[in-house]
Structure 1
């Protein structure tokens, strides 16, 4: 798929997203907007669009980084315990620092997400049987253990409903003043582009990377910091977007190859396009009500994941 096609699709879907919703704002009204229509666009529709673009691009890119560093196409923040660890961090912040702001909660979630991802990578180093399917299963088991700890303490402190509803992926609550935390993801994405070639070399293995003069551990740690930072930002602002960081890098790899720097633009654009499609679909399927992005991405993403799994087995990969 050529880059220009993705750009055109992104522009068309972005414009469509601005004019889909319960409040009647038509493209024909754009040059003579009423005060109410202007407020809807500036307070709700534009912030929602920006958050969709940033979240879609950032989560797809960190999924690509994780797959490169772990050398496994079925590893992502969802299947490596990163999101579950970030969720535990948010719960700890709610219990210990109930009056803390979003930035403080994000800092705690970032620390837990980083620790969780680091533990998963350490577990990966100890595993000798590194089958393509076995590794993400280990990650899912690790994530479920962390999730069980989160659920236990959430029940104990009567926060299960709060944390469950708050962290479920949803763009309907995104308005001006409640999405700006996502801007922290932009420097992380830029850093990912700067270190893209190093991540590609690191993905060839520690011995190979060291022979080429690369500081393997430093590059891996930078990658883990990027993954944890983006995951915690998106988790706090939007909620969980299951399968996004898993399927988009796999789709891009099929037609673009494994060179990370060449794949970054395609991964970012396709991630944003996919989330936009899921969001628009969720807003029109039972109009005027809305299906949350966590559900639409999960259902569509799981179907694509099963296809990729069958395709990989069919080709003996």
Structure 2
């Protein structure tokens, strides 16, 4: 996008589509009846999640206890993790101006897993808070490394940027595997990256509530992220400190990714699927899109979790397996769509 200062004699031509885009974004209301219907639909899925499982919480003698210890925490974790990872994808896509970027395709998740592994190796009896801190710090470092690589790449096509992130993630994943092999923790590493809500119980998931505050923080500074998504030159011209906004976005994404990785594990492609679907329908205004992104993220994670619980009942498959298949299909569809538009 060309900034108004650099437009020169072509200034009217450049400003015309920008104004049109802003009108499209501002035409959507933050709260409307469609959003209410979405809340009701997602609420129905969450109620279904509460009563889906092998154990009969309604007929068993200790059903109420199991309901409070397992079903409620699991459903709350679905809400928080789904909303957080979808939101992370939306923020990262705006800040990088790339539709194919999210924590899975930038290596952020792999860095969070490496931080978790280091804490567990150095401090075997570490609390969940210590593990979270380690995951968040490494996720922040990894995301900053990704941004540093992207800034140094001269060819910044929509496909090169996620390829860089996937390559970085593969390198970090190899380091994690090596460290886990040396520390005899390879099996634990596989469990951490599985991405499953099976082990979510009362007493070990409450730390996930941190991501709710992250979502609120993103909503508060949503307009700044939206302006930063127009590019450094445009953001600077309107008086925005672009580097500070990038740093803030990186911190919020690192916190959400680190916390979700510690409690749930890897949820691949969620941040890729949801923002692209919402943006195709509603445009790129983060503030008005954020409730829809959170709702759709919760809905997709909940549906995938229900499938994982019932597809081979009474056993469960990791929800990351279902998400990976779905996300890979959407990723390929987006790539093909991008290729058709370029041709």
* TM-score of the pair, normalised by structure 1: 0.95
Preserved contact between residue 167 and residue 236 of structure 1 (Cα < 8 Å): no
Q: Is the 8 A contact 1:91 1:163 kept in 2?
A: yes
Can you list the C-alpha shifts for 1:161-186, whole angstroms capped at 9, x where unaligned? 11111331011111101111101111
Deviation per CA, 1:133-163: give whole Å up to 9, x if none. Answer: 1110011001111111111111111111111
Does the aligned pair in 2 maintain the 1:278–1:293 contact within 8 Å? yes
1:188 — aligned with what?
214
How many residue pairs match? The answer is 311
Asked whether the 8 Å contact 2:45–2:302 carries over to 1, the reply is: yes
Task: Report what 2:7 is aligned to.
Answer: none
Partner of 1:78: 104
User: Which whole-Å CA distance do the structure 2 matches of 1:280 and 1:95 have between them?
Assistant: 34
Instruction: Work out whether residues 192 and 261 of structure 2, in 8 Å CA contact, stay in contact via their aligned partners in 1.
Output: no
Secondary structure of 1:315 counterpart: helix
Equivalences for 1:109-258 in 2 at 5 Å? Answer: 109-258=135-284
Deviations 1:200-236 (A, max 9, x none): 0011111111111111111111100000000000000
For the residues of structure 1 that align with 2:333 and 2:40, how far apart are their CA atoms?
26
Structure whose alpha-carbon radius of gyration is higher: 2
Equivalences for 1:273-292 in 2 at 5 Å?
Answer: 273-292=299-318
Aligned mates of 2:234, 2:325 — CA distance in 1 = 39
After superposing on structure 2, the runs of 4+ consecutive aligned residues of structure 1 that deviate more than 3 Å are none
Q: What's the CA shift for 1:35?
A: 4.7
Structure 1, unmatched stretches of 5+, are none
Distance in 2 separating the partners of 1:300 and 1:283: 16
CA RMSD of aligned residues (A): 1.4
From 42, 46, 56, the equivalent of 1:24 is 56
The 1-side partners of 2:163 and 2:36 are apart by 36
> Alpha-carbon deviation of 1:313?
2.1
SS in 2 for 1:129: coil
Q: Give the aligned partner of residue 328 of structure 2.
A: 302
Distance 1:111 1:156 in 2: 23
CA distance, structure 1, for counterparts of residue 121 and residue 186 of structure 2: 12
CA distance in 1, matches of 2:329, 2:136: 30
Match for residue 3 of structure 1?
35
Q: Distance in 2 between matches of 1:160 and 1:182?
A: 25
Deviation at residue 3 of structure 1 after TM alignment: 1.9
| Secondary structure at 1:79 match in 2 | helix
1:17 & 1:46 partners in 2: Cα distance? 9
Shift in Å at residue 251 of structure 1? 0.8
What is the rounded CA distance, in whole Å, between the counterparts of 1:64 and 1:35 in structure 2? 44
Residue 283 of structure 1, CA deviation: 1.0
